[in-house]
Amino acid sequence: MAIRKPVVALVGRPNVGKSTLFNRLIGERRAVVDEVPGTTRDRLVAEGEWSGRVFDVVDTGGIDPSHMGAPGATPLSIGSADFIPQIRAQAEMAIRDAEVVLFITDGQSGVSPADMEIADILRRHQHKQGDRLEPPVILVVNKCESATVRQNVFAFYELGMGEPQAVSGLHGTGVGDLLDVLVEALPAVAEAQADTRIRLAILGKPNVGKSSLLNRLLGEERVIVSPIPGTTRDAIDTQFEFGGVPLTLIDTAGIRRRGKIERGVEQYSVLRTLKAVESADVALLMLDATQGVTAQDAHIAGYILEARRSTVLLVNKWDRVEKDSQTMEIYTAQVRQALNFMDYVPVLFISALTGQRVDQVLPLALRVQEERLVRIQTAELNRIVREALEHHAPPAHAGRKLKFFFASQVRADPPTFLFHVNEPALVHFSYRRYIENQLRERYGFLGTPIQLSFRARR
């Protein structure tokens, strides 16, 4: 089990460059960056490392104090005006979870009333622990690209949050010095071991209920839920334990049809979602029971299959469907027909809203993960192949007959089998499928793709 890493939260008003600095601290373009204030909505977590210390960096949405003022006040979060209270709640949750807080401000615009209010929020969340305040807050003045801006950094002492650290998240100036200060402020905790957590990615179209499911599984409002499609933009990682098993749940942005994807923020969000598929062990593909299986559902399933991820199909909003004794059976048959290239995947009918069968999601996902790691002994595998050949011999082609010499499982995760034959070109698709079915009949491989490779034996 991985030891919890110290958490560093980036907090500030909208458009001060938190996501740009976040990407700089973790060394990759992970957070969505856009010029429209309010681009980041949910908390985004990634690993950072400096001077041998490993820590989790949390990017948060900008805290917009304007909704607390007079009616009609213009929000700072232009791109997320409908979510200001939720974003604030998410940011404050990140502050409570953090060992160190980086308070990000904008050196080009100077100290603002919003900065003053956020400083007050941070002070309210601090408590005395020995001779220091917990969590410690490091004041960061971002966008210090020019010498003129750097000379004005001292004005930020007005916030009463200690010595300001002048940086440029865009160019990387001063980030090394900031990391030195950050590492010094980190508590003395055990370093993280290799991450052995099982990664579960929640996937589906916009507004299918992905964030609602994640919150239901965790028992807390971890991500923002809204009836507005496209609320989630980043792939959100959440680490927790279930039955003693360490897991990482990934809530992803909804993938719309290619022609419907907006350029800019949403486009990058979809790319990150596809990257989340590749990094997952098991994909939880959610379908909308009120809409049936759509072409876009099949499109997303194709992404999962291409990445060779194990899968559980979750038919959500089952509480909204009028049912009789045969409804589930009929619906299952429709799902199987529409996604016939995934006939090995289990189907579970749930309601993230009411909690119906949600308690079965994680046990089923863990079972699928176990099936993904199954290994067949070489002698047993060759026995299965021999019996399959005796029961149904491969058809001859142009007078040439396919011959099997030897089989072995060359890897698990996912299960991959190598067959030595006389001529790989003689392996017809239907016979390849027959061999796969024989393996599944004996070992299941529930929810897991099997890869068969045929090689000519010299």
> Quick one: which H or E segment has residue 220?
none
| Average pLDDT over every residue of 339-368 | 95
Omega within 30 of 0 (cis) for the link into 136: no
Q: Give the structural domain span for 108.
A: 7-185
Is there a single domain that holds both residue 358 and residue 394?
Answer: no
Tokens representing residue 84 in the block: 């200001």
- The residues that bridge with 315 in the sheet, in sequence order, are 287, 349
Is there a single domain that holds both residue 158 and residue 221?
Answer: no
pLDDT reading at 253 higher than 70: no
Q: Which among 5-9, 161-165, 187-191 has the top mean pLDDT?
A: 161-165
- What integer pLDDT is reported at residue 5 of this predicted model? 72
User: Of the candidates 310, 344, 372, which is a domain's last residue?
Assistant: 372
Q: For residue 2, tell me if it sits in a domain.
A: no
Q: How confident is the model at residue 13 (pLDDT cuts 50, 70, 90)?
A: confident
Is there a single domain that holds both residue 166 and residue 75?
Answer: yes
- What integer pLDDT is reported at residue 41 of this predicted model? 36
User: Of the candidates 372, 403, 437, which is a domain's last residue?
Assistant: 372
Is there a single domain that holds both residue 208 and residue 344?
Answer: yes
Is there a single domain that holds both residue 124 and residue 273?
Answer: no
| Average pLDDT over every residue of 182-204 | 75
- CATH number of the domain that 74 lies in? 3.40.50.300
pLDDT, one tens digit per residue, over 264-293 is: 333 334 545 666 787 789 999 999 999 999
Residue at token pair 């030195």: 180
Q: For residue 130, tell me if it sits in a domain.
A: yes
- What integer pLDDT is reported at residue 352 of this predicted model? 93
Which contacts of 22-28 are long-range, i.e. CB under 8 A and separated by 24 or more positions?
22/46, 22/57, 22/59, 23/169, 24/169, 24/172, 24/175, 25/57, 25/175, 25/179, 26/57
pLDDT reading at 452 higher than 90: yes
Q: For residue 73, tell me if it sits in a domain.
A: yes
Return d(Cα 367, Cα 320) in angstroms, integer. 28
- What integer pLDDT is reported at residue 206 of this predicted model? 83
- Assign 243 to helix, strand or coil: coil
- Residue 368 has phi, psi (to 5 degrees) of -60, -40
Q: How confident is the model at residue 103 (pLDDT cuts 50, 70, 90)?
A: very high
Domain count, the chain: 3
Confirm if 117 and 12 have CB atoms less than 8 A apart. no
Residue at token pair 């950072």: 48
**Strand 100-106 relative to strand 451-456: parallel, antiparallel, unpaired?**
unpaired
Q: For residue 429, tell me if it sits in a domain.
A: yes
> Quick one: which H or E segment has residue 311?
strand 310-316
- What integer pLDDT is reported at residue 230 of this predicted model? 44
Is there a single domain that holds both residue 144 and residue 169?
Answer: yes
Average pLDDT score over the chain: 80
User: Of the candidates 340, 372, 404, which is a domain's last residue?
Assistant: 372
For the CA atoms of the chain, what is the radius of gyration?
A: 26
Is there a single domain that holds both residue 382 and residue 353?
Answer: no
- Burial code of 318-349, b = ≥16 C-beta within 10 A, e = fewer? beeeeeeeeeeeebeeebeebbeebebbebbb
Is there a single domain that holds both residue 304 and residue 445?
Answer: no
Q: For residue 100, tell me if it sits in a domain.
A: yes
Helical H runs in 203-248?
210-218
pLDDT reading at 379 higher than 60: yes
The pTM (predicted TM-score) of the whole model is 0.57
Residue at token pair 């999962």: 304
- What integer pLDDT is reported at residue 360 of this predicted model? 96
> Quick one: which H or E segment has residue 163?
none
Is there a single domain that holds both residue 358 and residue 222?
Answer: yes
